[in-house]
Chains A and B, each alone.
Chain A
């Protein structure tokens, strides 16, 4: 067809324009800004070029180093817990049955809930005086009654991760339920014939067959954990101290509380680099799966 080119360009054009204006332009502009000094509260325009100073400053900034460490810890805890809980829920619910069917349709709720609201709702439940979760924990393990969960660095991090696990584990479970349904029954029959126990079957048959999906989910969850922001603001506010101050939150503070735009752009770009490493592997596994 002669007019194919024209039609195709007309179809693609608007989307590419939108993306160029809302993504590409900011992306390039922030990169250029990262080499300049710009205190927004003093000057409406960027001032001097400072070369790599913003980047060298980052590596000597203990608060930034702290945010990197926090992000890594947080990512590991939340990814591991989300995967384990998600897989657990999937194994529990993947067989057909009316209870499972009903529960499965509720699994999307935690994932669809606004992350900012998640943070607030867990903060409420963890309140040492009237929080339902602190109360339940206090009933089960009396020495912990009245413990200020969000006042202690480790536990604040732990509950921040749990807030995230609450949203993600059900979603991961749904993905696994979908995948479990497509696994060939022969493999399980063969394992049964060979006298494998349930646990052996799980480790040596189920898990290896699920591996591509597991890898993809780990990457996807990692990407989301690395840029965690909403629940940090509403659950812990980065505290106690700076114990839950993730990279994204630190960039936000640098830019919009201290108005140090040049430095914030450089920090944001370091976050971009971190994201793109994981994104590279995610895109690869996604395209690989599609092909």
Chain B
């Protein structure tokens, strides 16, 4: 790729640039070919699974079970998954409610903690911060082993609130780190100025700090929603009928002939589309978000 630029720019009058001009051209064309082939391969690799699933969602069974490119589109599959016995309506509601409530609890709590971590100095702060980061490395199966037996005794198995409690275990630490990252990147001077102007701590939070960190809070809320929405293990273990979420609902799309793929694809589209839309809204912060908030 460096050569590509060399070929376009007039070459520098330096004796050390030994390669004669025509060879650079040939190599450049070689690179250009490699580049376009790889670009094509990348596009296929990234898009094929999504596009194929999206197309299958609109196919009749006979087209779904073939690799033909042309087919008669239908909305039957969506009708089928929302009708009994699949009833994806309640599942969609469960996924939405569980994710929304998780976010509604985790984000304010995490934002407060993040603010304290970012703007206050206190003893043991670093140890506490590293612990918050480290709890994300506890395998989720450890958490669910414990809660499964507790919930059995409290009859919280197969409830939405049970799922929310478990989702908090990974959403909260992630959000604390992510929001802390945003607050760290804001200069403290504005807040100091407000203090000098006679704001008390609470006025400062309410009128200065919260509006300033709002973009960070919104981004991490979207992130947390995506994570809860995609959560699979907890819902698989804890739900049977009433609180089943969309990701676990996929497991139920079976018949004697095996998985009903065209319905699976339709359900997949319902899981995918909201997440894709949400992820586009926070596109800019996606990368730092994950590395900073680290690890579910």
Contacts and interface: CB of A to CB of B under 8 A. Distances in A.
A112 B105 CA distance: 22
Interface in A134-172: 135, 166, 170-171
Contact of B133 (A130, A233, A251, A283): A283
A243 interface: no
B16 A112 contact: no
Contacts of B26: none
B210 to A, nearest CB: 12
Contacts of A5: 122
B139 A248 contact: yes
A13 to B, nearest CB: 8
A44 interface: yes
B49 A166 contact: yes
Nearest to B108: A14
A30 B113 contact: no
Which of the four size classes fits the interface of chain A? 35 or more
Given A116-B247, A252-B233, A23 B259 contact: no
Given A44-B152, A92-B42, A120-B250, A4 B120 contact: yes
Contacts of B255: none
A279 B39 contact: no
A106 B122 contact: no
Interface in A88-132: 88-89, 91-93, 95, 99, 103, 105-118, 120-125, 129-132
A13 B112 CA distance: 9
B237 A256 contact: yes
A55 to B, nearest CB: 15
Contacts of B104: none
A170 B47 CA distance: 11
A193 B137 CA distance: 46
A132 B247 contact: no
Given A107-B46, A223-B295, A261-B149, A23 B230 contact: no
Contacts of B143: 22-23, 26-27
A278 B152 CA distance: 33
Interface in B137-164: 137-143, 145-149, 152-153
Interface stretch (B50-58, B73-81, B85-93, B212-220): B50-58
A107 B135 CA distance: 28
B276 interface: yes
B232 A198 contact: no
Interface in A266-288: 268-269, 271-272, 275-276, 278-279, 282-283, 286-287
Nearest to B280: A105
Given A22-B168, A224-B295, A117 B272 contact: yes
Interface residues of B, number: 99
Contacts of B264: 120, 124
Interface in A20-52: 21-27, 29-30, 33, 40, 44
Contact of A276 (B17, B42, B137, B226): B137
Contacts of A269: 142
B226 A16 contact: no
A103 B154 CA distance: 49
A179 to B, nearest CB: 10
A230 B232 contact: yes
A64 interface: no
A87 interface: no
A64 to B, nearest CB: 14
A174 interface: yes
Nearest to B126: A287
Contact of B172 (A15, A30, A116, A133): A15
A108 B283 contact: yes
B230 A114 contact: yes
A105 B268 contact: no
B60 interface: no
B66 interface: yes
Given A44-B152, A92-B35, A113-B272, A201 B2 contact: yes
A16 B19 CA distance: 64
A83 interface: no
Contacts of A216: 291
Contacts of B153: 44
A267 to B, nearest CB: 9
A116 B294 contact: no
Contacts of A171: 287, 290
B276 A112 contact: yes
Given A26-B147, A124-B53, 9 more contacts: A19-B173, A85-B45, A108-B280, A117-B250, A195-B19, A234-B251, A252-B233, A255-B141, A283-B134
22 contacts: A11-B115, A22-B172, A23-B138, A25-B146, A29-B146, A88-B42, A95-B1, A110-B46, A113-B230, A114-B230, A124-B52, A124-B264, A131-B67, A175-B287, A195-B17, A198-B31, A224-B295, A230-B232, A230-B233, A248-B141, A255-B141, A276-B134
* Interface pairs A-B: 6 shortest CB-CB: A15-B113, A26-B146, A279-B137, A22-B169, A11-B116, A114-B230
